[in-house]
Amino acid sequence: MTETTPRIARDVFGALPDGRPVDRVVLSGAHGFQAHVITYGAALQALIVPNAVGRCEDVVLGHDDLAGYLRERHFFGATVGRYANRIANGRFVLDGEVVQLATNNGAHALHGGPEGFDRKLWRIADVEDGAKPMVTLAHVSAHGEEGYPGRLDIRVGYRLTGPTELSVSFEARVDRPTIVNLTNHSFFNLEGAASGVDILDHRLTIAADRFLAIDPSAIPLPEAPRAVADTPFDFRKSTAVGARIRCHDAQLRNGRGYDHNFCLDDAGELRLAARLEAPRSGRILELLTDQPGLQIYSGNYLDGSVVGKRGRFYRQSDAICLEPQVWPDAPNRADFPSARLAPGSVYRHHSVYRFSSAGGPT
Protein backbone atom coordinates (compact mmCIF):
# COMPACT_ATOMS: atom_id res chain seq x y z
CA MET A 1 0.00 0.00 0.00
CA THR A 2 1.56 3.27 -1.11
CA GLU A 3 1.36 6.60 0.68
CA THR A 4 -1.31 7.77 -1.80
CA THR A 5 -3.49 4.67 -1.52
CA PRO A 6 -6.67 5.41 0.48
CA ARG A 7 -6.70 3.56 3.77
CA ILE A 8 -10.34 4.23 4.57
CA ALA A 9 -13.51 3.23 2.69
CA ARG A 10 -17.20 3.62 3.42
CA ASP A 11 -20.31 1.79 2.27
CA VAL A 12 -23.82 0.89 3.47
CA PHE A 13 -24.03 -2.26 5.58
CA GLY A 14 -27.82 -2.37 5.65
CA ALA A 15 -30.92 -0.48 6.75
CA LEU A 16 -32.94 -0.45 9.95
CA PRO A 17 -36.66 -1.32 9.79
CA ASP A 18 -37.45 2.42 9.75
CA GLY A 19 -35.24 2.89 6.70
CA ARG A 20 -32.26 4.58 8.33
CA PRO A 21 -29.02 3.37 6.75
CA VAL A 22 -26.32 1.62 8.77
CA ASP A 23 -22.90 2.59 7.46
CA ARG A 24 -19.72 0.55 7.47
CA VAL A 25 -16.25 2.09 7.54
CA VAL A 26 -13.23 -0.05 6.66
CA LEU A 27 -9.82 0.98 7.98
CA SER A 28 -6.92 -0.66 6.13
CA GLY A 29 -3.40 -1.15 7.46
CA ALA A 30 -0.45 -3.25 6.32
CA HIS A 31 -0.33 -6.90 5.19
CA GLY A 32 -4.12 -7.08 4.70
CA PHE A 33 -4.96 -5.91 8.22
CA GLN A 34 -8.42 -4.31 8.32
CA ALA A 35 -10.96 -3.14 10.90
CA HIS A 36 -14.61 -2.98 9.79
CA VAL A 37 -16.75 -0.70 11.95
CA ILE A 38 -20.54 -0.35 11.63
CA THR A 39 -22.68 2.45 13.00
CA TYR A 40 -25.21 0.06 14.55
CA GLY A 41 -23.89 -0.36 18.07
CA ALA A 42 -20.62 1.37 17.08
CA ALA A 43 -19.49 -2.22 16.61
CA LEU A 44 -16.33 -3.84 15.33
CA GLN A 45 -18.02 -6.03 12.74
CA ALA A 46 -14.85 -7.66 11.38
CA LEU A 47 -11.14 -7.62 12.14
CA ILE A 48 -8.96 -9.08 9.41
CA VAL A 49 -5.56 -10.18 10.72
CA PRO A 50 -2.67 -11.90 8.90
CA ASN A 51 -1.06 -15.03 10.36
CA ALA A 52 2.60 -16.01 10.31
CA VAL A 53 2.59 -16.81 6.58
CA GLY A 54 0.43 -13.85 5.56
CA ARG A 55 -2.95 -15.60 5.44
CA CYS A 56 -5.62 -13.10 6.46
CA GLU A 57 -8.71 -14.15 8.39
CA ASP A 58 -11.46 -12.46 10.36
CA VAL A 59 -10.77 -13.08 14.07
CA VAL A 60 -13.97 -11.74 15.68
CA LEU A 61 -17.38 -13.37 15.88
CA GLY A 62 -20.42 -11.58 14.50
CA HIS A 63 -22.72 -11.55 11.50
CA ASP A 64 -22.24 -11.10 7.78
CA ASP A 65 -25.26 -8.82 7.46
CA LEU A 66 -27.26 -6.38 9.54
CA ALA A 67 -30.20 -8.78 9.88
CA GLY A 68 -28.16 -10.99 12.18
CA TYR A 69 -27.42 -8.13 14.57
CA LEU A 70 -31.05 -7.02 14.59
CA ARG A 71 -32.43 -10.52 15.06
CA GLU A 72 -30.50 -11.45 18.20
CA ARG A 73 -28.61 -9.51 20.83
CA HIS A 74 -25.24 -11.01 21.69
CA PHE A 75 -23.03 -7.89 21.86
CA PHE A 76 -20.72 -9.13 19.08
CA GLY A 77 -18.06 -6.41 18.73
CA ALA A 78 -20.41 -3.80 20.19
CA THR A 79 -19.80 -0.68 22.21
CA VAL A 80 -21.63 -1.42 25.46
CA GLY A 81 -22.87 1.09 28.02
CA ARG A 82 -23.81 3.22 29.79
CA TYR A 83 -22.49 0.63 32.19
CA ALA A 84 -20.64 -2.40 30.89
CA ASN A 85 -21.15 -5.52 33.00
CA ARG A 86 -23.66 -5.82 35.84
CA ILE A 87 -25.21 -3.59 38.48
CA ALA A 88 -26.90 -5.55 41.27
CA ASN A 89 -30.69 -5.26 41.21
CA GLY A 90 -30.32 -2.39 38.73
CA ARG A 91 -30.05 -0.06 41.69
CA PHE A 92 -27.49 2.26 43.27
CA VAL A 93 -27.29 5.47 45.27
CA LEU A 94 -25.69 8.53 43.66
CA ASP A 95 -25.13 11.67 45.72
CA GLY A 96 -27.77 10.53 48.19
CA GLU A 97 -30.41 9.77 45.57
CA VAL A 98 -31.60 6.25 44.76
CA VAL A 99 -31.33 5.43 41.05
CA GLN A 100 -33.37 2.55 39.66
CA LEU A 101 -32.31 1.22 36.26
CA ALA A 102 -34.12 -0.97 33.79
CA THR A 103 -33.14 -4.60 34.42
CA ASN A 104 -32.43 -7.21 31.77
CA ASN A 105 -30.32 -9.94 33.40
CA GLY A 106 -32.67 -11.46 35.92
CA ALA A 107 -32.89 -8.92 38.71
CA HIS A 108 -29.79 -7.09 37.49
CA ALA A 109 -28.89 -4.47 34.87
CA LEU A 110 -26.42 -5.71 32.25
CA HIS A 111 -24.53 -3.74 29.57
CA GLY A 112 -26.77 -0.68 29.76
CA GLY A 113 -30.14 -2.39 30.04
CA PRO A 114 -32.67 -3.71 27.52
CA GLU A 115 -31.81 -1.00 24.96
CA GLY A 116 -28.17 -0.22 25.64
CA PHE A 117 -25.70 1.51 23.35
CA ASP A 118 -25.24 -1.70 21.35
CA ARG A 119 -28.84 -1.25 20.12
CA LYS A 120 -28.42 2.36 19.01
CA LEU A 121 -27.60 3.82 15.61
CA TRP A 122 -24.51 5.96 16.10
CA ARG A 123 -23.50 8.73 13.70
CA ILE A 124 -20.16 9.16 12.00
CA ALA A 125 -18.67 12.31 13.48
CA ASP A 126 -15.33 12.25 11.69
CA VAL A 127 -13.10 10.18 9.42
CA GLU A 128 -9.37 10.61 8.86
CA ASP A 129 -7.41 9.05 6.02
CA GLY A 130 -3.64 8.76 5.92
CA ALA A 131 -1.05 6.61 7.60
CA LYS A 132 -3.23 6.18 10.71
CA PRO A 133 -6.82 6.05 9.46
CA MET A 134 -9.57 6.67 11.99
CA VAL A 135 -13.32 6.81 12.31
CA THR A 136 -15.08 8.55 15.20
CA LEU A 137 -18.68 7.69 16.04
CA ALA A 138 -20.94 9.72 18.32
CA HIS A 139 -24.15 9.19 20.26
CA VAL A 140 -26.22 11.21 22.72
CA SER A 141 -27.97 9.34 25.52
CA ALA A 142 -30.88 11.31 26.94
CA HIS A 143 -31.36 11.98 30.63
CA GLY A 144 -33.38 9.10 32.07
CA GLU A 145 -32.61 6.64 29.26
CA GLU A 146 -32.74 3.14 30.81
CA GLY A 147 -32.97 5.00 34.14
CA TYR A 148 -29.52 6.61 33.99
CA PRO A 149 -29.31 10.25 35.10
CA GLY A 150 -27.82 12.95 32.91
CA ARG A 151 -27.58 13.72 29.21
CA LEU A 152 -24.46 11.89 28.10
CA ASP A 153 -22.48 12.79 24.97
CA ILE A 154 -20.25 9.88 23.90
CA ARG A 155 -17.60 9.45 21.24
CA VAL A 156 -15.73 6.31 20.33
CA GLY A 157 -12.76 6.36 17.99
CA TYR A 158 -11.29 3.43 16.10
CA ARG A 159 -7.80 4.17 14.76
CA LEU A 160 -5.08 2.03 13.19
CA THR A 161 -2.04 3.12 15.19
CA GLY A 162 0.36 0.58 13.70
CA PRO A 163 0.61 -1.82 10.76
CA THR A 164 -1.44 -4.42 12.67
CA GLU A 165 -2.61 -2.40 15.66
CA LEU A 166 -6.08 -1.09 16.46
CA SER A 167 -6.67 1.56 19.12
CA VAL A 168 -10.12 2.15 20.60
CA SER A 169 -10.75 5.34 22.57
CA PHE A 170 -13.88 6.44 24.39
CA GLU A 171 -14.79 9.89 25.68
CA ALA A 172 -17.97 11.00 27.43
CA ARG A 173 -19.33 14.19 28.97
CA VAL A 174 -22.48 14.74 31.03
CA ASP A 175 -24.66 17.63 32.21
CA ARG A 176 -25.32 16.23 35.70
CA PRO A 177 -23.67 13.54 37.88
CA THR A 178 -23.99 10.02 36.53
CA ILE A 179 -22.05 6.79 36.17
CA VAL A 180 -20.20 5.67 33.04
CA ASN A 181 -18.37 2.47 32.13
CA LEU A 182 -17.86 1.75 28.43
CA THR A 183 -16.05 -1.06 26.64
CA ASN A 184 -15.77 -2.95 23.39
CA HIS A 185 -17.30 -6.41 23.52
CA SER A 186 -15.47 -8.29 20.75
CA PHE A 187 -15.41 -12.08 20.76
CA PHE A 188 -11.94 -13.21 19.66
CA ASN A 189 -10.86 -16.44 18.01
CA LEU A 190 -7.33 -15.98 16.70
CA GLU A 191 -7.55 -19.13 14.58
CA GLY A 192 -10.33 -17.40 12.64
CA ALA A 193 -13.98 -16.75 13.37
CA ALA A 194 -14.99 -19.37 10.78
CA SER A 195 -12.24 -21.87 11.59
CA GLY A 196 -14.46 -24.29 13.51
CA VAL A 197 -11.78 -24.45 16.20
CA ASP A 198 -12.53 -23.39 19.78
CA ILE A 199 -10.31 -21.19 21.95
CA LEU A 200 -9.59 -23.68 24.73
CA ASP A 201 -6.01 -24.20 23.51
CA HIS A 202 -5.38 -20.46 23.08
CA ARG A 203 -2.74 -19.49 25.61
CA LEU A 204 -3.66 -16.58 27.86
CA THR A 205 -1.54 -14.35 30.08
CA ILE A 206 -3.16 -11.75 32.36
CA ALA A 207 -1.23 -9.13 34.32
CA ALA A 208 -3.36 -9.50 37.44
CA ASP A 209 -2.72 -10.90 40.91
CA ARG A 210 -6.38 -10.62 41.98
CA PHE A 211 -9.88 -11.28 40.65
CA LEU A 212 -13.45 -10.71 41.81
CA ALA A 213 -15.31 -13.75 43.06
CA ILE A 214 -18.97 -13.78 42.00
CA ASP A 215 -22.26 -15.25 43.16
CA PRO A 216 -24.35 -17.50 40.86
CA SER A 217 -25.90 -14.41 39.21
CA ALA A 218 -22.40 -13.02 38.41
CA ILE A 219 -22.52 -10.19 40.96
CA PRO A 220 -19.25 -9.72 42.91
CA LEU A 221 -19.34 -11.19 46.39
CA PRO A 222 -19.19 -8.78 49.36
CA GLU A 223 -15.52 -9.39 49.96
CA ALA A 224 -12.14 -8.05 48.91
CA PRO A 225 -10.65 -9.27 45.62
CA ARG A 226 -9.20 -12.76 45.88
CA ALA A 227 -5.64 -13.71 45.06
CA VAL A 228 -5.31 -15.71 41.85
CA ALA A 229 -2.48 -17.80 43.29
CA ASP A 230 -3.30 -21.51 43.58
CA THR A 231 -6.62 -21.09 41.74
CA PRO A 232 -7.81 -21.76 38.16
CA PHE A 233 -7.68 -17.96 37.75
CA ASP A 234 -3.91 -17.70 37.81
CA PHE A 235 -2.89 -16.61 34.31
CA ARG A 236 0.20 -14.70 35.37
CA LYS A 237 2.12 -17.20 33.26
CA SER A 238 0.96 -18.25 29.81
CA THR A 239 -1.66 -20.99 30.26
CA ALA A 240 -4.16 -22.63 27.93
CA VAL A 241 -7.65 -21.20 28.47
CA GLY A 242 -9.03 -24.72 28.77
CA ALA A 243 -6.33 -26.10 31.06
CA ARG A 244 -8.42 -25.66 34.21
CA ILE A 245 -11.82 -24.55 32.93
CA ARG A 246 -13.40 -27.94 33.84
CA CYS A 247 -11.88 -28.03 37.34
CA HIS A 248 -14.15 -28.56 40.33
CA ASP A 249 -14.24 -24.95 41.49
CA ALA A 250 -17.18 -22.97 42.86
CA GLN A 251 -16.21 -19.86 40.92
CA LEU A 252 -16.00 -21.70 37.60
CA ARG A 253 -19.40 -23.20 38.37
CA ASN A 254 -20.89 -19.78 39.14
CA GLY A 255 -19.59 -18.37 35.86
CA ARG A 256 -20.11 -21.54 33.79
CA GLY A 257 -16.44 -21.08 33.03
CA TYR A 258 -14.60 -17.77 33.07
CA ASP A 259 -16.83 -14.71 33.38
CA HIS A 260 -14.85 -12.73 35.91
CA ASN A 261 -13.19 -9.37 36.42
CA PHE A 262 -9.43 -9.39 36.86
CA CYS A 263 -8.11 -6.48 38.92
CA LEU A 264 -5.37 -4.54 37.14
CA ASP A 265 -2.80 -2.30 38.81
CA ASP A 266 -1.77 1.19 37.67
CA ALA A 267 -5.18 2.33 36.44
CA GLY A 268 -4.98 5.42 34.28
CA GLU A 269 -1.77 4.31 32.58
CA LEU A 270 -1.73 2.51 29.25
CA ARG A 271 -0.01 -0.82 30.03
CA LEU A 272 -0.07 -4.44 28.97
CA ALA A 273 -3.07 -6.21 30.50
CA ALA A 274 -3.29 -9.49 28.59
CA ARG A 275 -1.69 -11.58 25.86
CA LEU A 276 -3.55 -14.21 23.83
CA GLU A 277 -1.75 -16.70 21.56
CA ALA A 278 -3.25 -19.10 19.00
CA PRO A 279 -1.12 -22.27 18.57
CA ARG A 280 -2.14 -23.18 15.01
CA SER A 281 -2.13 -19.83 13.21
CA GLY A 282 0.59 -18.29 15.37
CA ARG A 283 -1.48 -15.11 15.79
CA ILE A 284 -0.79 -13.15 18.96
CA LEU A 285 -2.94 -10.42 20.49
CA GLU A 286 -1.51 -8.08 23.11
CA LEU A 287 -4.12 -5.94 24.86
CA LEU A 288 -3.02 -2.68 26.44
CA THR A 289 -5.46 -0.56 28.43
CA ASP A 290 -5.70 2.24 30.98
CA GLN A 291 -8.72 0.70 32.71
CA PRO A 292 -8.74 -0.78 36.27
CA GLY A 293 -10.33 -4.09 35.30
CA LEU A 294 -10.40 -6.73 32.59
CA GLN A 295 -13.46 -8.95 32.26
CA ILE A 296 -12.58 -12.37 30.84
CA TYR A 297 -15.52 -14.23 29.31
CA SER A 298 -14.95 -17.63 27.71
CA GLY A 299 -18.12 -17.69 25.60
CA ASN A 300 -19.97 -19.81 28.13
CA TYR A 301 -23.48 -18.89 26.98
CA LEU A 302 -22.94 -19.55 23.28
CA ASP A 303 -25.19 -22.58 22.94
CA GLY A 304 -25.40 -23.32 19.22
CA SER A 305 -28.58 -21.32 18.74
CA VAL A 306 -26.80 -18.38 17.07
CA VAL A 307 -25.97 -18.48 13.38
CA GLY A 308 -22.95 -16.30 12.73
CA LYS A 309 -20.58 -15.55 9.89
CA ARG A 310 -20.52 -17.96 6.95
CA GLY A 311 -23.53 -19.76 8.43
CA ARG A 312 -21.62 -21.17 11.38
CA PHE A 313 -23.39 -22.02 14.63
CA TYR A 314 -21.55 -20.46 17.56
CA ARG A 315 -21.03 -22.81 20.49
CA GLN A 316 -19.52 -22.63 23.96
CA SER A 317 -15.85 -21.59 23.95
CA ASP A 318 -15.87 -20.65 20.27
CA ALA A 319 -14.40 -17.29 21.32
CA ILE A 320 -13.09 -15.34 24.28
CA CYS A 321 -13.86 -11.75 25.28
CA LEU A 322 -11.24 -9.47 26.82
CA GLU A 323 -13.20 -6.46 28.08
CA PRO A 324 -11.29 -3.56 29.71
CA GLN A 325 -13.57 -1.67 32.07
CA VAL A 326 -14.39 -0.41 35.55
CA TRP A 327 -15.24 -3.24 37.93
CA PRO A 328 -18.76 -4.72 37.89
CA ASP A 329 -21.25 -3.29 40.40
CA ALA A 330 -18.82 -0.50 41.31
CA PRO A 331 -21.63 2.04 41.95
CA ASN A 332 -22.65 -0.14 44.93
CA ARG A 333 -19.14 -0.70 46.23
CA ALA A 334 -17.20 2.12 47.85
CA ASP A 335 -14.14 -0.15 47.91
CA PHE A 336 -14.13 -0.49 44.09
CA PRO A 337 -12.80 2.02 41.54
CA SER A 338 -15.35 4.77 40.99
CA ALA A 339 -17.51 5.02 37.86
CA ARG A 340 -18.91 8.46 38.78
CA LEU A 341 -18.75 11.21 36.16
CA ALA A 342 -19.53 14.83 37.05
CA PRO A 343 -20.24 17.80 34.80
CA GLY A 344 -17.01 19.44 33.70
CA SER A 345 -15.09 16.17 33.84
CA VAL A 346 -14.38 13.85 30.93
CA TYR A 347 -14.66 10.07 30.99
CA ARG A 348 -11.77 8.54 29.05
CA HIS A 349 -10.92 4.97 28.16
CA HIS A 350 -8.08 3.95 25.85
CA SER A 351 -7.31 0.38 24.79
CA VAL A 352 -4.93 -0.97 22.14
CA TYR A 353 -5.21 -4.33 20.33
CA ARG A 354 -1.73 -5.15 19.00
CA PHE A 355 -1.35 -8.16 16.71
CA SER A 356 1.75 -10.11 15.70
CA SER A 357 2.60 -13.70 14.80
CA ALA A 358 4.94 -16.39 16.07
CA GLY A 359 5.46 -18.67 13.09
CA GLY A 360 2.43 -20.94 13.20
CA PRO A 361 2.07 -23.67 10.56
CA THR A 362 -0.93 -22.20 8.68
pLDDT tier at 274 (50, 70, 90 boundaries)?
Answer: very high
Question: Is the CB of residue 169 less than 8 Å from the CB of residue 350?
Answer: yes
Model pLDDT for residues 115-174, shown as the tens digit of each residue: 999 999 999 999 999 999 999 999 999 999 999 999 999 999 999 999 999 999 999 999
Backbone φ, ψ for residue 88 (5° rounding): -60, 125
* Residue 308 pLDDT greater than 80, yes or no: yes
Eight-class DSSP state of 117: G
Q: Per-residue confidence at 361, pLDDT binned at 50, 70, 90?
A: very low
> Distance (Å, rounded) from C-alpha 261 to C-alpha 327?
7
The percentage of residues in the chain with a pLDDT greater than 70, rounded to a whole number, is: 97
Per-residue pLDDT band for 85 (boundaries 50, 70, 90) equals very high
What does pTM read for this prediction?
0.96
In terms of DSSP H, where are the helices of the chain? 66-71, 250-255
Residue 54 exposed, middle or buried by CB count within 10 Å (0-12, 13-18, 19+): exposed
Average pLDDT, the chain: 96
DSSP letters for 316-354:
TTS-EEEEEESPTTGGG-TTSPP-EE-TT--EEEEEEEE
What single-letter amino acid sits at 355? F
Checking if the pLDDT of 18 tops 90, the result is yes
User: Looking at the domain 8-357, which fold is it?
Assistant: Beta-galactosidase; Chain A, domain 5 (2.70.98)
List the Cα angle 194/196/200 in 5-degree steps: 115
323 has catalytic annotation: yes
pLDDT at res. 362: 40
Is residue 81 scored above 60 in pLDDT? yes
359 pLDDT band, cuts 50/70/90, is: low
276, β-bridge pairs: 204, 285
Q: Which of 319, 285, 278 is closest to 206 using CA atoms?
A: 285
Query: Which pLDDT score is estimated for 348?
Result: 98
Q: Measure the CA–CA gap between 150 and 195, rounded to whole angstroms.
A: 44
Question: ∠349-351-354 over CA atoms, to 5°?
Answer: 170
Question: Is the CB of residue 287 less than 8 Å from the CB of residue 299?
Answer: no
Could you give the CA distance from residue 133 to residue 6 in angstroms, rounded to a whole number? 9
Say which of 202, 323, 349, 350 is annotated catalytic: 323
- Mean of the pLDDT values across residues 302-313? 92
- The yes-or-no verdict on residue 360 having pLDDT over 50 is no
The catalytic residue among 36, 63, 185, 349 is 185
223 has pLDDT over 80: yes
Give the percent of the chain with pLDDT over 90.
Answer: 96
How far apart CA 11 and CA 85 sit, in angstroms, is 32
pLDDT digits (tens, 9 = 90+) for 49-72: 999 899 999 999 999 999 999 998
Separation CA 80–CA 296 (nearest Å): 15
Identity at 298, one-letter amino acid code: S
Q: Mapping DSSP to helix (H, G, I), strand (E, B) and coil, where does residue 55 land?
A: coil
Look up 185 and say whether it is catalytic. Answer: yes
